[in-house]
Amino acid sequence: MKTVVITGSSKGIGLGLARECLKRDCSVVMSARGGKKLDKEVANLDNVFGIDRVMGKTCDVTDVAQIQQLWDASKKKFGNVDFWINNAGISNDTALLCELDPVQISSVVDTNLKGVIFGTQVALRGMLAQGWGQIYNLEGFGSDDTMFEGLSVYGSTKRALRYFTESMAQEVDNEPVVIGSLSPGIVITDFLLDDLRKMDPEKLESIKPVYNALADTVETVTPFLVENVLKNEENGKRFIWLTKDEANRRFEDENYYNRDFFTERGL
């Protein structure tokens, strides 16, 4: 039985990854900054998969000491950590840089970039000591150089994260550790919907067709990501759900434009 640690896993993609790992007979350590939501989701999964296979641990990924505590607690509970997924991330409001609060900018950079760097550092040290392991970082908008007005800060962190992941894969090339990345594409989560609700209504209406064509649900994307992670042995691998070829195919298929992710979600 493999053990998987997933940061930011009390909701959204992280929670979906945790559920899919449990379906495939892994043990899972879930973490998030907020304890109540985390406790609720751990209890839900306990009821389905058994209390001995799921553990929750609060962790602020901007604090390297808390990440170390997450590693130590995972090792104590399950003996070893086979996979570590740096999923925790936040976005800034969709707004021009001049309109953003500097506090929000710092929070996005600290969580999305420093949090991944710290998580990778802690997990890598632990995995080198135990002699094996795999680390995966979640890409996002901006990783492939795509730009959108109002997401310069968020996109910059994800673009930097891709560089960091590729650099780390080279750094461990002769070590018994695999480092790679996961690209889920556009996923309909509370994280995304909250951001869209803050958007100018006219701009929101203009991008809805694009989201309907390219977006997917957590339940659609996470099985693909987990299946590839669990069978992978290649260092530096990128698992991409929404490739450029697939995106182009969808733009040519009216069935995707006819989807509606928004009406039933109050948008």
Q: Return the amino acid letter for 151.
A: L
Name 266's Cβ contacts closer than 8 Å, sequence gap at least 6: none
Instruction: Determine whether 122 is exposed, middle or buried from the number of CB atoms within 10 Å of its CB (0-12, 13-18, 19+).
Output: buried
Closest of 138, 40, 124, 157 to residue 87, by C-alpha:
138
Positive or negative torsion for Cα 49, 24, 214, 164:
positive
Is 75 within 8 Å of 126 (Cβ atoms)? yes
Residue of 154, 211, 256, 257 marked catalytic: 154
Catalytic, 257? Answer: no
Name 17's Cβ contacts closer than 8 Å, sequence gap at least 6: 4, 6, 9, 85, 87, 222, 225, 226
Residues recognised as catalytic: 154
